[in-house]
């Protein structure tokens, strides 16, 4: 058994923040470049790792998957996939997006990684008034530092004269087994509240453990904004796309409708759901149509996973 030091996510994020600060002088370098990293390769060089291209249904071999003239990293961090409105030219305000990915380890366990994508409107790091990662299940919110982690962190930066300062920070938040052991029911929103130079944001990812009918552990999948009030489930681990329980080359596209709202967030009802064909290594559970009528809670509103709030 490997002797690995276990750290809390708070410790890992503190190390991440310290790393950001230590790299501040480097940010004045004149060239567009990224800090080295091996955990998350980026085949097409668009600064969005292949693992996140998979989870957001974009193409890891194409820097501009939808051909709209905006690279995949910028499309992802600014939620352009779900917001067809024209994008103003040049650098706008600060923005953040949070995504999850899965990693199959050599010992057969599977790790979950939390990815923080930042676009800062400037050449240096802005001031963070607060940064609060959390996990929310059905309106019950807990600080994410209660979830143990091995504490691996990867950080990449790129300074672009047209897009500003781009940052990708990945933090391992434990294994799928850890998540199942610590938190029930198996539907969560994992995210963070942040204030950057006075701009407050709540960004996160809805994660669901979908049972495959075998009686064992299910498959983790995240909700991916598609357009407007439509979202799709995408499996967290690429290997799960080959699970015979799932229909291949299809995704579960669901239409959400506001059911109720309160100070804690929005409850949306799934009013339509079907397995739609799509290219790529994707999959759709046969239970997809059965989700119609189900309720989904989003802390701070649907904008938590679609941006704009």
- Round to whole Å and give the CA distance between 245 and 167: 37
Give the lowest-confidence range in 164-173, 183-192, 260-269: 183-192
Q: What is the mean pLDDT of the chain?
A: 80
Residues 66, 82: contact at Cβ < 8 Å? no
Residue ranges of E strands in the chain: 7-8, 95-104, 110-120, 128-137, 140-143, 148-149, 153-160, 164-175, 187-196, 199-210, 219-227, 230-235, 247-248, 250-262, 265-277, 283-284, 295-299
Per-residue pLDDT reduced to its tens digit, 24-81 = 444 443 333 344 456 899 999 999 999 999 989 888 899 888 888 888 998 899 887 5
**What is the Cα–Cα distance from 191 to 203, expressed in whole angstroms?**
5
pLDDT at 108 over 50: yes
Alpha-helical segments (H) within 41-86: 50-55, 72-77
Predicted pLDDT at 283 = 87
**Considering only 7-21, 40-54, 69-83, 201-215, which range has the smallest mean pLDDT?**
7-21
Question: Residue 9 pLDDT more than 80?
Answer: no
* Whole-angstrom distance, CA of residue 101 vs CA of residue 260: 30
pLDDT band at 84 (very low <50, low <70, confident <90, very high): very low
Is the predicted pLDDT of residue 129 greater than 90, yes or no?
no
Q: Rounded to an integer, what distance in angstroms lies between the CA atom of residue 100 and that of residue 189? A: 11
pTM: 0.85
What pLDDT digit, counting tens, does each position of 85-103 carry?
445 555 568 899 999 999 8
What would the two tokens of residue 136 be? Answer: 């929310």
Is residue 262 over pLDDT 90? no
SS3 state of residue 98: strand
Residue 135 CA to residue 182 CA, distance in Å, equals 11
Residue 292 predicted with pLDDT over 60: yes
The pLDDT score that the predictor gives to residue 231 is: 92
For residues 149-169, average pLDDT: 81
- Band of pLDDT at residue 258, cut at 50, 70 and 90: very high
State the residue for tokens 């998350």.
40
For the stretch 171-201, pLDDT in tens is: 888 888 888 887 766 788 999 988 988 999 9
């Amino acid at each position: 058994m490997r002797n690995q030091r276990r750290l809390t996510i708070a410790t890992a994020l503190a190390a991440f923040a310290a790393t950001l600060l230590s790299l501040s002088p480097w940010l004045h370098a004149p060239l567009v470049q990224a800090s080295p990293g091996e955990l998350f390769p980026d085949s097409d060089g668009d600064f969005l790792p292949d693992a996140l291209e998979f989870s957001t249904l974009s193409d890891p071999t194409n820097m501009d998957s939808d051909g709209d003239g905006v690279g995949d990293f910028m499309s992802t961090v600014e939620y352009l996939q779900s917001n067809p409105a024209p994008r103003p030219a040049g650098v706008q305000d600060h923005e953040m997006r949070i995504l999850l990915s899965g990693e199959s380890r050599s010992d057969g366990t599977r790790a979950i990684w939390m990815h923080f994508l930042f676009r800062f409107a400037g050449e240096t790091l802005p001031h963070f008034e607060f940064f609060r990662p959390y996990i929310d299940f059905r309106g019950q919110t807990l600080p994410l530092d209660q979830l143990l982690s091995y504490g691996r962190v990867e950080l990449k930066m790129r300074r672009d004269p047209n897009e500003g300062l781009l940052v990708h920070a990945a933090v391992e938040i434990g294994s799928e087994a850890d998540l199942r052991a610590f938190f029930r029911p198996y539907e969560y929103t994992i995210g963070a509240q942040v204030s950057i130079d006075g701009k407050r944001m709540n960004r996160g990812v809805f994660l669901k453990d979908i049972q495959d009918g075998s009686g064992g552990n299910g498959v983790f999948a995240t909700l991916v904004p598609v357009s407007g009030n439509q979202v799709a489930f995408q499996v967290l681990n690429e290997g799960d796309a080959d699970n015979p329980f799932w229909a291949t080359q299809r995704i579960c596209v669901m239409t959400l409708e506001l059911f109720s709202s309160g100070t804690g967030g929005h409850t949306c009802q799934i009013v339509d759901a079907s397995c739609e064909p799509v290219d790529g290594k994707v999959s759709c559970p046969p239970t997809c149509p059965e989700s119609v009528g189900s309720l989904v809670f989003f802390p701070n509103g649907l904008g938590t996973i679609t941006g704009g709030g």
